[in-house]
């Protein structure tokens, strides 16, 4: 005889959650989030604003006016829907593509530009912003999120730690370690994997034999949800429920959002035509989170072309002002860097501080 | 005062800081119920509860990553890496994350983490349990690396490390855990991180060592005395940053130095000490500054350890080579 495979039937357990379909039609009325009309409009405003920010950032990067930049278009529903479910005091641990969540969590735009340029002031989260700067090492933020969450639990706070990574991040050891730690301590953490189908160029099917990333949570006893990452309402609602469970002491959640990045991996020379086809791009663009939500809101008379243009113009103005402010920032010095390495400078850095003060005074 | 072994002094320091500061958390593999594989945390979970002293899943990267996260909530994490050879599993969490917390946040966050870990050869441990990896840590900006050589310093330095607002790697040589007892004050006290200690005064040559090698250097000094060579012995106690002032002052007096480390010779702490000496005191030197170190191979677990590990005879030989230069 042969034993029945434990994987049999697993696919049905991880079916994709959707509330609005590609045409902006409500397909899951029961799951509709409890959001006011103002909230719905705000969600759309943020997505449009973020799309403009992405277009402007790419243009600024091409002009040599930004440094490191990872395009975000296509992922707005995943990024902003999940973020919209948070409270201000919740702690955010983003990956490098997750600058939009930081901005909507309270990072001033000019600092986001400074982050892109590698200026340390871009990493200095304002005092009322509970976040660390975007992580570069894939997955390192996930074990840290478990620690933040355990800390929140020990302090008796009704807040969560939320962290983001991509489909590639779900291959890292730290992904399992972080989820396993949070599960073992029933810590209030939310792990969001934005599955944009490619880890730079390697497709998700080549990363793992697992059909979904969501099911990876089951191995550590944590619930994992697969959600349509182009559907802002579905992403919002799944995150909202995860947050409620977390603050009620029911432990962490993994959320996999099925999404797509329209642009390259980063602006540092990645060419997606080497690993993606036009057909694939077209297919995903039909699922666009903005198109879908716009249709839905227009149907409810909550959105119009005028409104959208207003948001676009406002975004352009604010981006222009922020870039100007970033340009006005003093250049980072080696002495600045030395001064932030330690609480108290050791002798070697004290000596080097003198040396570089001298160099930089010339 | 009480007679304590180094392991008892370490437990005493942990107990002192768990009592002093409710933000101190002690955790790691087998650290809770079992009291640690060397019993460094013996009785602490019972005394302070599972919320303060606890077991973790078996994953070093997770342990240090979690410590970084806890820092943001105002905790002072004191994680244990069960044997320092296992730190390779956590290199990003240590060097890529904890050490860079101030830089990565422009000073908004810091990581007051003390990573305690047994290391060192001569106790017949399996592979990757004995390696001296302090050089790797010392090369990482943002970390301090402390290595006590005796119970008294272990307690005072560990208390300082836990109170330090930046990450400290605190390495405990396994051979010293129970090899001798000495008087250790029962009350709290600190020893300054970054300060070396002159363990024996002498005028002819300076022997610079840390960890278990301090005892080999002291034994070498006794041997040298029989031949009328009066050696000064310095215990570095902190290998990053190095107390260059104390070293240079001594070398200016003795005009000769031998730097001793248990680690492999290449790119180590001793190399760093030698270059600092020659940059700062070359005109005081009567001979090249020499090194005693292990060969540049991986650590040979249980076989050939006695020959591989530097010993007092090697130090005596190098000291004479310097004197006779």
pLDDT at A98 over 90: yes
CATH of domain B2-184: 3.40.50.970
pLDDT band at residue A11, thresholds of 50, 70 and 90?
confident
Q: What is the pLDDT of residues B69-92, one digit of tens each?
A: 999 999 999 999 999 999 999 999
**What is the structure's pLDDT at B302?**
80
**What is the structure's pLDDT at B270?**
98
Between A and B, how many residue pairs show a Cβ–Cβ distance under 8 A? 130
Q: What is the pLDDT of residues A49-79, one digit of tens each?
A: 999 999 999 999 999 999 999 999 999 999 9
Q: What is the pLDDT of residues A115-167, one digit of tens each?
A: 999 999 999 999 999 999 999 999 999 999 999 999 999 999 999 999 999 99
List chain A residues with CB under 8 Å of B139: none
Average pLDDT over chain B, rounded to whole? 97
pLDDT band at residue B301, thresholds of 50, 70 and 90?
confident
pLDDT at A212 over 80: yes
Domain extent listing, chain B: 2-184, 197-324
Interface test with A, best of B21, B55, B66 (most A CBs within 10 A): B66
**Chain A nearest CA to B226, separation (Å):** 37
Residue A252, chain B, CB below 8 Å: the answer is no
pLDDT band at residue A335, thresholds of 50, 70 and 90?
very high
**pLDDT, average across residues A201-209:** 96
Contact A180 B59 (CB under 8 A): yes
pLDDT band at residue A204, thresholds of 50, 70 and 90?
very high
Q: What is the pLDDT of residues B137-191, one digit of tens each?
A: 999 999 999 999 999 999 999 999 999 999 999 999 999 999 999 999 999 999 9
pLDDT at A236 over 80: yes
CA proximity to A124, closest of A108, A139, A135:
A108
**Which tokens is A43 given?**
């969600």
Known catalytic residue: A265? yes
Residues above pLDDT 70, as percent of chain B: 100
pLDDT at A184 over 80: yes
Which residue in chain B is spatially nearest to A177 when comparing CA positions? Answer: B62
List chain B residues with CB under 8 Å of A137: 92, 96-97
**Which tokens is B143 given?**
């970390």
**What is the structure's pLDDT at A1?**
75
Which residue in chain B is spatially nearest to A154 when comparing CA positions? Answer: B51
pLDDT band at residue B116, thresholds of 50, 70 and 90?
very high
Residues above pLDDT 70, as percent of chain A: 100
**What is the structure's pLDDT at A307?**
97
Interface test with A, best of B28, B54, B73, B194 (most A CBs within 10 A): B73
**pLDDT, average across residues B232-239:** 98
Q: What is the pLDDT of residues A260-312, one digit of tens each?
A: 999 999 999 899 999 999 999 999 999 999 999 999 999 999 999 999 999 99
Output the CA angle A94-A99-A105, nearest 5 degrees: 80
Known catalytic residue: A261? yes
- Can B2-184 and B197-324 be said to share one CATH topology? yes
Alpha-carbon distance of A356 to A34, in angstroms, equals 57
Contact A347 B245 (CB under 8 A): yes
Contact A161 B69 (CB under 8 A): yes
Q: Give rounded-to-5 percent helix, strand, coil for chain B.
A: 40, 20, 40
* Contacts of A353 by beta carbon, 8 Å cutoff, 6+ apart: A335, A338, A339, A345
**Chain B nearest CA to A283, separation (Å):** 38
Question: What is the CATH T-level fold of the domain B197-324, as seen in this structure?
Answer: Rossmann fold (3.40.50)
Please count the other Cβ atoms lying within 10 Å of the Cβ belonging to residue B93: 29
Which residue in chain B is spatially nearest to A162 when comparing CA positions? Answer: B69
pLDDT band at residue A362, thresholds of 50, 70 and 90?
confident
Provide the whole-model pTM.
0.97
**What is the structure's pLDDT at B1?**
82
């Amino acid at each position: 005889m042969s034993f029945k495979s434990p994987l049999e039937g697993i696919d049905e357990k991880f079916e994709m959650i959707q509330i609005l379909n590609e045409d902006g039609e409500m397909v899951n009325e029961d799951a509709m989030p409890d959001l006011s009309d103002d909230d719905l409009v705000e969600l759309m405003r943020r997505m449009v604003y973020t799309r403009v920010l992405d277009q402007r950032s790419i243009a600024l990067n091409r002009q040599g006016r930004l440094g490191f930049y990872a395009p975000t278009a296509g992922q707005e529903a995943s990024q902003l829907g999940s973020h919209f479910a948070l409270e201000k005091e919740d702690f955010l641990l983003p990956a490098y593509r997750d600058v939009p969540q930081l901005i909507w969590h309270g990072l001033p735009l000019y600092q986001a530009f400074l982050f892109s340029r590698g200026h340390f002031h871009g990493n200095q989260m304002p005092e009322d912003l509970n976040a660390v700067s975007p992580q570069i090492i894939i997955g390192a933020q996930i074990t840290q999120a478990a620690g933040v969450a355990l800390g929140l639990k020990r302090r008796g706070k009704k807040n969560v730690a939320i962290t983001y990574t991509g489909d590639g991040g779900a291959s890292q050891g730290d992904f399992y370690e972080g989820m396993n730690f949070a599960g073992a301590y029933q810590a209030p953490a939310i792990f969001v994997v934005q599955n944009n189908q490619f880890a730079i160029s390697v497709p998700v099917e080549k990363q793992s034999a697992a059909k979904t990333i969501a099911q990876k949570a089951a191995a550590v006893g944590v619930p994992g949800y697969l959600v349509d990452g182009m559907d802002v309402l579905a992403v919002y609602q799944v995150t909202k429920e995860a947050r409620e469970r977390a603050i009620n002491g029911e432990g962490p959640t993994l959320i996999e959002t099925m999404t797509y990045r329209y642009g390259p991996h980063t602006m540092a020379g990645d060419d997606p035509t080497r690993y993606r086809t036009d057909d694939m791009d077209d297919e995903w663009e039909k699922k666009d989170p903005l198109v879908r939500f716009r249709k839905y809101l227009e149907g409810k008379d909550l959105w119009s072309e005028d409104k959208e243009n207003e948001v676009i113009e406002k975004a352009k103005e604010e981006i222009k002002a922020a870039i100007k402010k970033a340009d006005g920032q003093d250049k980072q010095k080696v002495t600045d860097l030395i001064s932030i390495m330690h609480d108290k400078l050791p002798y070697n850095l004290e000596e080097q501080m003198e040396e570089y003060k001298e160099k930089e005074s010339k | 005062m009480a007679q304590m072994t180094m392991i008892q002094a370490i437990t005493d320091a942990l107990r002192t800081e768990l009592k002093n500061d409710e933000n101190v958390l002690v955790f790691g593999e087998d650290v809770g119920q079992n009291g640690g594989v060397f019993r460094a945390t013996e009785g602490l979970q019972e005394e302070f509860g599972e919320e303060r002293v606890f077991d973790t899943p078996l994953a070093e990267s997770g342990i240090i990553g979690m410590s970084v996260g806890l820092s943001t909530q105002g905790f002072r994490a004191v994680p244990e890496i069960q044997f320092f050879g296992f730190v390779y599993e956590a290199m990003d969490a240590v060097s890529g994350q904890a050490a860079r917390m101030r830089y990565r946040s422009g000073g908004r966050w810091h990581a007051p983490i003390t990573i305690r870990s047994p290391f060192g050869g001569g106790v017949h441990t399996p592979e990757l349990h004995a390696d001296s990896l302090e050089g790797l840590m010392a090369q990482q900006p943002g970390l301090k690396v402390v290595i006590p050589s005796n119970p008294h310093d272990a307690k005072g330095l560990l208390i300082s490390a836990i109170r330090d607002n930046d990450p400290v790697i605190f390495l405990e040589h396994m051979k010293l855990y129970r090899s001798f007892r000495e008087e250790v004050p029962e009350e709290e006290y600190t020893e300054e991180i970054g300060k070396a200690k002159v363990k024996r005064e002498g005028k002819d040559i300076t022997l610079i060592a840390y960890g278990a090698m301090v005892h080999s250097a002291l034994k070498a000094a006794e041997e040298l005395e029989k031949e009328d060579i009066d050696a000064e012995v310095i215990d570095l106690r902190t290998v990053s940053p190095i107390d260059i002032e104390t070293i240079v002052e001594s070398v200016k007096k003795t005009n000769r130095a031998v730097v001793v480390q248990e680690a492999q010779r290449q790119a180590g702490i001793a190399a760093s000490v030698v270059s600092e000496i020659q940059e700062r005191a070359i005109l005081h030197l009567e001979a090249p500054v020499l090194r005693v170190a292990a060969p540049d191979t991986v650590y040979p677990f249980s076989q050939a350890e006695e020959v591989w590990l530097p010993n007092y005879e090697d130090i005596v030989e190098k000291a004479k080579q310097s004197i006779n230069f």
